[in-house]
Homo-oligomer: A and B are copies of this chain.
Amino acid sequence: MDKRLFTHPLPLKSVRITDGFWGNYQRKVLNEVIPYQWEALNDRVPGADRSGCIRNFEIAAGRAAGEHIGWVFQDSDLAKWLEAAAYALVLRPDPDLERRMDETIELICEAQQPDGYLDTYYIITGLDKRFTNLQDHHELYCFGHMTEAAVAYYYATGKDALLQAMIRYADCIDRCIGPEPGKLRGYPGHEEAELALIRLYGITHDEKHLRLAKYFIDERGQSPLYFEEEGRRNGNRFYWRDTHYRYHYYQAGMPVRAQRNADGHAVRAMYLLCGVADIARVTGDESLLDTAEALWKSVARRQMYITGAIGSSHVGEAFTFDYDLPNDTVYGETCAAIGLVFFARRMLELRPRAEYADVMERALYNGVISGMSLDGKRFFYVNPLEVVPEACEKDEGKRHVKPERQKWFGCACCPPNIARLLGSVSQYMLTAREGAIYVHLYIGAELDASLNGQPLSLRLNSGFPWQGRAELTVVSGSASGRIALRVPGWCRYYTLRVNGRPADAPTEDGYLLLDRDWQPGDAVTLDFDMPVTRMAADPRVREDTGKVAVTRGPVVYCLEEKDNGGSLHLLRLPRDAAFEIHDEPELLDGVTVLTAKGLRRSAAWAAEGLYAPAEACEEAAQTLTFIPYYAWANRGVGEMCVWVREA
């Protein structure tokens, strides 16, 4: 493992997104999501579940009296909002927002205890109980999110009040938890602190932060199991006793380095793997890299939906087993798809490989943004690939699936998580090292980069996801080195032009390698062929047998009742059906719609009962209209499906 080959995202302020598609999403974050979620955190959204988040901090700070409201991890909602808002300040300076954030940070610091402890649940309900239920009570998870917020705010504004507070909290944790005698030999029941400590370490370079993160990874799942001891000592409940997961739910069923299959709670798994990859990067630890790669394969090659959704079971919000990907009972939590993007970016930092970027792109354009309505005001927790609204209401096994996005959740992890990812999408589009820039996602942007120490201003124009053209131009600066451009996995044919002339370039791990003396005005043009593609699933995926999913470029399509009528299971897409491509700038914020000559099986049924001798089924021609999956459920309640019968 040659650490010199590792890459890193550009600083936040060095990338200005100009992209039509993602710029639109960022505007939603700025104009809708962040103000809306601020209202939600302050319990001012009529009809939405009460958050209590700010209120808890006011009580903890002694500004108000009352009882703790919401979940034990309620603080994390504010943390994720702060992180998202920090990215927003970079996207568009906003003194009002910044002032509100400063005031909030002041409130947070006021709630902090003299020894650095900072978690409103225990500050309000009794500090004597703190760190007595690391398994389920999320203190270290909240610490992690608030640390990520502190880091983001520091990078956005240079202000370090929250950063210093979190350093003090890290010290407090380090005094209480660890392998040394007299400390609790525990670790987080919900991962997040690990990756946050590495982000903190990126600023502080304090070995203590790295050591603590590494300890959390290494201690996890060791025998005797801390959570068992903790449970016995403190009488904690063990919710997962009678399930298949047991301690795998917490990613503590075995030592991390011994894991080869992703199991248990999907978000926990993703956050853990981010920490694993981060520490592998910082320390060069080969065994952690092996673990990260093995678990990547377990997730991306054996347990991922075509939308990038992961975690197929509602119970435990968890993985089940290889190739088990039911479309209707799926969980596919928005946060898990977001976590997969986080993990993919970290794998790209370790080694630019198109597989990581392909999955990152798949999740971003599909299973992540499906979590938010086009108006930025409603959210899905669960992202199904097949929905029959009546089943969501009347079949208890599908009641976790909602046919409409919700305003806010009692457990509101997903909405601010989307906001912070969309606000920082620049951190996912490219990574760089000394002599190379790797473009992973074709997102229009202006970039202040450098190659071998020479500054280089670049402009990336992109028609993604609707057109396959992307153009990279050197705006200013001269530098010698490599610009590597990803060839998306969905693309079979492309043309490369350099300064208008057809060019050829070697590829490595799915990236075109352009090694060159770059001069102002240099332009690289890529035309990726983006045909409509009928995708099949690995035959081991039982639920997709005999079906296809329609994709074009990075976008997965679906059928909605709105366009195709109900009883979508009666529709069929014959193997030879040709597609038409329609740009619909007025529809669903502007999408490309696909149509094909399909068939609808007759619903006529002469028999009195449910079963009768099979007869040749009659089918009538029907135009099938496919819309992008991410945009479903924005035009009222109805059926939806991604996988369509082929025969």
Spell out A's residues near B (CB within 8 Å). Answer: 243-244, 300-302, 304, 306, 312-316, 318, 320-321, 323-326, 329, 355, 358, 388, 390-391, 393-397, 399, 489, 533-542, 545-546, 548-549, 567, 569-570, 575, 601-605, 607-617, 645-647
Supposing A320-B391, A321-B395, A567-B540 touch, asked if A546 and B546 sit within 8 A by C-beta, the answer is yes
Supposing A321-B395, A324-B395, A645-B546 touch, asked if A607 and B329 sit within 8 A by C-beta, the answer is no
Residue of B nearest to A315 (CB): B396
Residue among A304, A390, A610 with most chain B CB within 10 A: A610
Query: Can you name 13 extra interface pairs (CB under 8 A) apart from A244-B396, A535-B611, A537-B610?
Result: A243-B399, A304-B610, A320-B396, A321-B391, A397-B397, A535-B613, A536-B611, A536-B617, A539-B602, A539-B617, A541-B610, A545-B601, A575-B614
- Give A135 to B43 CA distance when docked, in angstroms: 38
Provide a sorted-by-A list of 18 A–B residue pairs whose CB atoms are within 8 angstroms: A244-B395, A318-B396, A321-B391, A323-B610, A325-B610, A326-B397, A329-B397, A355-B608, A388-B542, A533-B613, A538-B605, A538-B607, A538-B610, A539-B567, A542-B569, A545-B570, A549-B611, A614-B646
Establish whether residues B315 and A397, one from each chain, have CB atoms under 8 Å apart when the complex forms: yes
Residue of B nearest to A539 (CB): B603
Establish whether residues B306 and A611, one from each chain, have CB atoms under 8 Å apart when the complex forms: yes
Establish whether residues B244 and A391, one from each chain, have CB atoms under 8 Å apart when the complex forms: no
Residue of B nearest to A314 (CB): B397
Q: Which residues does chain B contribute within 8 Å of A647, judged by CB atoms? A: 546, 647
Residue among A243, A302, A395, A549 with most chain B CB within 10 A: A395
Q: How distant is A605 from chain B, measured CB to nearest CB, in Å?
A: 5
- Give A489 to B612 CA distance when docked, in angstroms: 10
- Give A147 to B542 CA distance when docked, in angstroms: 48
Q: Which residues does chain B contribute within 8 Å of A394, judged by CB atoms? A: 244, 320-321, 324
Q: Which residues does chain B contribute within 8 Å of A608, judged by CB atoms? A: 301, 355
Q: How distant is A401 from chain B, measured CB to nearest CB, in Å?
A: 12
Establish whether residues A616 and B536, one from each chain, have CB atoms under 8 Å apart when the complex forms: no
Q: Which residues does chain B contribute within 8 Å of A314, judged by CB atoms? A: 396-397
Q: Which residues does chain B contribute within 8 Å of A325, judged by CB atoms? A: 610
- Give A399 to B320 CA distance when docked, in angstroms: 11
Q: How distant is A200 from chain B, measured CB to nearest CB, in Å?
A: 34
Establish whether residues B301 and A609, one from each chain, have CB atoms under 8 Å apart when the complex forms: yes
Establish whether residues A396 and B313, one from each chain, have CB atoms under 8 Å apart when the complex forms: yes
Q: How distant is A536 from chain B, measured CB to nearest CB, in Å?
A: 4
- Give A141 to B355 CA distance when docked, in angstroms: 60
Q: Which residues does chain B contribute within 8 Å of A388, judged by CB atoms? A: 542
- Give A486 to B198 CA distance when docked, in angstroms: 77
Q: Which residues does chain B contribute within 8 Å of A541, judged by CB atoms? A: 610
Q: How distant is A323 from chain B, measured CB to nearest CB, in Å?
A: 8
Say whether chain A's binding surface is mostly helix, strand, loop, or mixed: loop
- Give A345 to B608 CA distance when docked, in angstroms: 20
Establish whether residues B397 and A313, one from each chain, have CB atoms under 8 Å apart when the complex forms: yes
Which 8 A-B residue pairs are closest in the complex by CB-CB distance?
Answer: A315-B396, A536-B614, A647-B647, A542-B569, A321-B394, A534-B614, A320-B395, A539-B603
Supposing A244-B399, A396-B316 touch, asked if A611 and B391 sit within 8 A by C-beta, the answer is no
- Give A438 to B586 CA distance when docked, in angstroms: 68
Establish whether residues B540 and A603, one from each chain, have CB atoms under 8 Å apart when the complex forms: yes
Residue of B nearest to A306 (CB): B611
Q: Which residues does chain B contribute within 8 Å of A533, judged by CB atoms? A: 613
Establish whether residues A390 and B321, one from each chain, have CB atoms under 8 Å apart when the complex forms: yes
Establish whether residues B243 and A396, one from each chain, have CB atoms under 8 Å apart when the complex forms: yes
Q: Which residues does chain B contribute within 8 Å of A542, judged by CB atoms? A: 388, 567, 569
Q: How distant is A617 from chain B, measured CB to nearest CB, in Å?
A: 8
- Give A329 to B328 CA distance when docked, in angstroms: 11
- Give A326 to B569 CA distance when docked, in angstroms: 13
Contacting residue for A605 out of B312, B318, B391, B539, CB 8 A:
B539
Q: How distant is A387 from chain B, measured CB to nearest CB, in Å?
A: 12
- Give A318 to B306 CA distance when docked, in angstroms: 32
- Give A197 to B240 CA distance when docked, in angstroms: 44
Residue among A304, A355, A536 with most chain B CB within 10 A: A536
- Give A537 to B609 CA distance when docked, in angstroms: 9
Q: How distant is A311 from chain B, measured CB to nearest CB, in Å?
A: 12
Q: Which residues does chain B contribute within 8 Å of A538, judged by CB atoms? A: 605, 607, 610-611
- Give A315 to B645 CA distance when docked, in angstroms: 29
Establish whether residues B536 and A393, one from each chain, have CB atoms under 8 Å apart when the complex forms: no
Q: How distant is A446 from chain B, measured CB to nearest CB, in Å?
A: 33
Q: Which residues does chain B contribute within 8 Å of A536, judged by CB atoms? A: 611-615, 617
Residue among A300, A397, A549, A602 with most chain B CB within 10 A: A397
- Give A647 to B613 CA distance when docked, in angstroms: 16
Q: Which residues does chain B contribute within 8 Å of A397, judged by CB atoms? A: 313-315, 326, 329, 397
- Give A601 to B546 CA distance when docked, in angstroms: 10
- Give A326 to B390 CA distance when docked, in angstroms: 14
Contacting residue for A301 out of B324, B329, B546, B610, CB 8 A:
B610
- Give A243 to B601 CA distance when docked, in angstroms: 34
- Give A180 to B396 CA distance when docked, in angstroms: 38
Establish whether residues A601 and B539, one from each chain, have CB atoms under 8 Å apart when the complex forms: yes
- Give A536 to B614 CA distance when docked, in angstroms: 5
- Give A569 to B358 CA distance when docked, in angstroms: 29
Establish whether residues A537 and B393, one from each chain, have CB atoms under 8 Å apart when the complex forms: no
- Give A169 to B24 CA distance when docked, in angstroms: 73
Residue among A314, A315, A393, A612 with most chain B CB within 10 A: A612
- Give A567 to B325 CA distance when docked, in angstroms: 15
- Give A316 to B395 CA distance when docked, in angstroms: 10
Establish whether residues A306 and B616, one from each chain, have CB atoms under 8 Å apart when the complex forms: no
Q: How distant is A388 from chain B, measured CB to nearest CB, in Å?
A: 7
Q: How distant is A374 from chain B, measured CB to nearest CB, in Å?
A: 26
Q: How distant is A279 from chain B, measured CB to nearest CB, in Å?
A: 26
Contacting residue for A548 out of B243, B535, B614, CB 8 A:
B614
Establish whether residues A302 and B610, one from each chain, have CB atoms under 8 Å apart when the complex forms: yes
Residue of B nearest to A362 (CB): B611
Q: Which residues does chain B contribute within 8 Å of A326, judged by CB atoms? A: 397
